[in-house]
Each structure stands twice: as C-alpha cells, then as structure tokens.
C-alpha cells in the first residue's frame, strides 16, 4: 500500500522540536556547493573513524573476513576510507532528498536506461546494494525514470515522514512500501512497476538460506527469487558509485539476470551474492561494511562480532 502521508499535529509535539531543528540545519548544509559538502563529509568521516566504537569493530571484522589475503595495513586504509565514505554519505542523503532534479542531473550520469525502457510494461526488481551512495543513486535515477521503493520505517515519526517525502519527491507516480508489504509489492510488480530492492543484508534465518558471500556462509534472503517468480518480474542489478575529485556519481542499470530464478533456493541466493560481490569490488570502500552481514550463523558456529559495548 502507499505510504504517502500528511503532516499532523503529532509531528509537532514539543519533544520533536529538536528533531525538526536538526533537519533544518541538515537541509541548509546540503544547499552548499557540492565540493564543500564532500569536504565536510570527509571531516565527519575521519572523526567517526578516530572515535572507533561498535560499528568500527563490525566493519573491521567484515573486512578481515571478506579480504583475508589483504595486508593488515591495506585493510586499515580501506577501513579509514570506508568511514570517510560514511561521513560523505550523511550529506548525500540530504542531496538525494532535497536537491532539485536539475541539480541532481548535473552530478549523476546514468547508464543502462534502455533496460528499463525495454521492459514494455513488465515489472522489475531494481536490485541494488547498500553502498553509502544509496540515496543519491536512487534519486539520480528517479529524476529520469519513475521507480518505486522499499524502506524500513523509522521510529521517530518526523524522520520517517521526511524520509518518505524525500524518496517520493522526484516523481508524482512513485510509491514506497515497507519490506513486509508483500501483497503490495507483488501487486505493483504485476502492474509493471519497477521497484528498488536491496537483498544484501542479514534478516535472520526465517526468510533466508545460507550461501557463500566472499567465501563465508551468510544468511541470504530468498525473497528476490520469490518476488521475481510470483510477480512475473525481471531482476535488473543496479549500482551507483561516487567518483573521485568531486566528479559526481556513476549510476548503472545492468542487463536483467538470465535464467533467474531457478527452482533451488540456495542456487538463487548464490547467483545474487556473486552479483553483489562483483558490484562491491568496483568500489569496496563505499560499501556498508558496518552492517552485521554475518550475524546469523549456521548451527554450531560461533558468533563473529564483538558485544555492543566493546570499544577500540
């Protein structure tokens, strides 16, 4: 179902005034020139890196698991670059939500639009991954083609409202769905909608199978294949990377996956994971390594991440 909403009095409760103030400051900053925004993001990222903490430890473990042949110094540099990318991403979220379509078009180059145009009314999953450029990537495409999206509701109702409004701001025809709205998603696919979808996180064992991800058994969602099969939809891999020297972003819609899905869930998950790995390797420092991708373990295997109170 649609998640378009209107502001109500509850959004202006005094306990939410600081949230509104924070968003106001955030919005003002992202109207600065793009090079200034990325410079501020780099400084924020370096602060986060030097601060360390729980997410730092998660990212460090993930890099060690996924790049075992990399030297310790190279992994440390990758971790530092990754946190710089997080800092820039904080402001890129605002760019994706609040920049005008014309300004977004100037910093985004989109390749592969012909794959969307060739659908001719057939639905498709736009299979993205959690790069730190996630909001700019989706918005850069949305100003050129209408796409729907999936999202996780935020507990703070102001944040949730602004997040949804931002993601719907580039197209009057767009909708967003919670990831649990299976009926709404399938209905949209059958109507020929293109739906942004990211299957690269650990959502627990109930909706996953174990499949290799960078050589490590990872809980991998089965929903990609199910949506494609039941919704009679194609799967279009979708990637977006930040270019060096403030050159903007390269956004790519890849050709649809062939012979997908098959009948075996593990094989389907393996196909998706291999595609995700390839996209990550384009710019590994821009991936969301701070997510507990290997949180769910096969029976008998130990946990891989430290407890939450562990500091560097």
Question: What is the predicted pLDDT for the residue at 312?
Answer: 45
| Residue 148 DSSP one-character state | B
Question: What is the predicted pLDDT for the residue at 308?
Answer: 83
Residues 235 and 124 sit within 8 Å (Cβ to Cβ): yes
The pLDDT mean for the chain works out to 94
Give yes or no for residue 254 having a pLDDT over 70.
yes
Question: What is the predicted pLDDT for the residue at 212?
Answer: 97
Residues 207 and 222 sit within 8 Å (Cβ to Cβ): yes
Rounded-to-5 percentages of helix, strand, coil across the chain:
50, 15, 35
Place 295 in a pLDDT band, splitting at 50, 70 and 90: very high
Does the bond joining 261 to the residue before it have cis omega, within 30 degrees of 0? Answer: yes
Question: 105: exposed, middle or buried (C-beta count within 10 Å: 0-12, 13-18, 19+)?
Answer: middle
Helix (H) or strand (E) segment spanning residue 63? helix 54-66
Token reading at 49:
């890196």
Question: What is the predicted pLDDT for the residue at 179?
Answer: 83
Please state the rounded mean pLDDT for residues 262-278: 96
Give the chain's radius of gyration (CA, Å). 19
Please state the rounded mean pLDDT for residues 20-43: 97
Give yes or no for residue 300 having a pLDDT over 70.
yes
Please state the rounded mean pLDDT for residues 214-227: 96
State the pairing for strand pair 234-242/124-127.
parallel
Place 152 in a pLDDT band, splitting at 50, 70 and 90: confident
Give yes or no for residue 298 having a pLDDT over 50.
yes
Question: What is the predicted pLDDT for the residue at 2?
Answer: 45
For 190-219, the pLDDT digits (tens) are: 999 999 999 999 999 998 999 999 999 999
Give yes or no for residue 1 having a pLDDT over 50.
no
Place 311 in a pLDDT band, splitting at 50, 70 and 90: very low
- Rounded to 5 degrees, φ, ψ at 43 are -65, -40
For 58-88, the pLDDT digits (tens) are: 999 999 999 999 999 999 999 999 999 999 9
Please state the rounded mean pLDDT for residues 166-176: 85
Please state the rounded mean pLDDT for residues 8-12: 94
Please state the rounded mean pLDDT for residues 128-157: 94
Please state the rounded mean pLDDT for residues 32-52: 97
Please state the rounded mean pLDDT for residues 291-312: 87
| SS3 state of residue 119 | coil
Single out the residue of 250, 251, 269 nearest to residue 260, CA to CA.
269
Place 4 in a pLDDT band, splitting at 50, 70 and 90: low
CA angle 63, 82, 68 (to 5 degrees): 15
Question: What is the predicted pLDDT for the residue at 201?
Answer: 94
């Amino acid at each position: 179902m649609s998640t378009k909403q209107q502001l109500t009095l509850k959004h202006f409760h005094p306990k939410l005034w600081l949230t509104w103030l924070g968003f106001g400051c955030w919005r003002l900053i992202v109207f600065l020139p793009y090079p200034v925004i990325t410079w501020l993001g780099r400084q924020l990222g370096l602060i986060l890196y030097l601060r360390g903490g729980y997410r730092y430890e998660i990212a460090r473990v993930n890099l060690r698991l996924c790049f075992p042949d990399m030297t310790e110094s190279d992994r440390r540099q990758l971790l530092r670059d990754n946190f710089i990318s997080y800092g820039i991403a904080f402001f890129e979220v605002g760019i994706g939500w609040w920049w005008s379509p014309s300004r977004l078009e100037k910093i985004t180059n989109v390749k592969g639009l012909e794959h969307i145009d060739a659908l001719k009314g057939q639905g498709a999953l736009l299979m993205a991954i959690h790069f730190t450029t996630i909001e700019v990537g989706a918005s850069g495409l949305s100003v050129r083609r209408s796409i729907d999206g999936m999202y996780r509701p935020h507990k703070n109702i102001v944040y949730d409202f602004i997040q949804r409004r931002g993601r719907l701001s580039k197209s009057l025809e767009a909708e967003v769905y919670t990831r649990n709205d299976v009926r709404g998603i399938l209905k949209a696919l059958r109507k020929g909608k293109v739906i942004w979808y990211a299957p690269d996180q650990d959502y627990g064992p109930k909706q996953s199978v174990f499949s290799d991800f960078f050589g490590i058994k990872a809980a991998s969602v089965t929903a990609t294949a199910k949506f494609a099969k039941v919704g009679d939809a194609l799967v279009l891999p979708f990637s977006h990377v930040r270019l060096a020297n403030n050159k903007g972003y390269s956004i790519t819609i890849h050709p649809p996956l062939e012979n997908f899905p098959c009948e075996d869930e593990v094989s389907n998950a393996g196909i998706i994971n291999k595609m995700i790995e390839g996209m990550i390797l384009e710019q590994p420092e821009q991936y969301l390594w701070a997510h507990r991708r290997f949180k769910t373990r096969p029976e008998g295997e130990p946990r891989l991440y430290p407890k939450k109170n562990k500091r560097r």
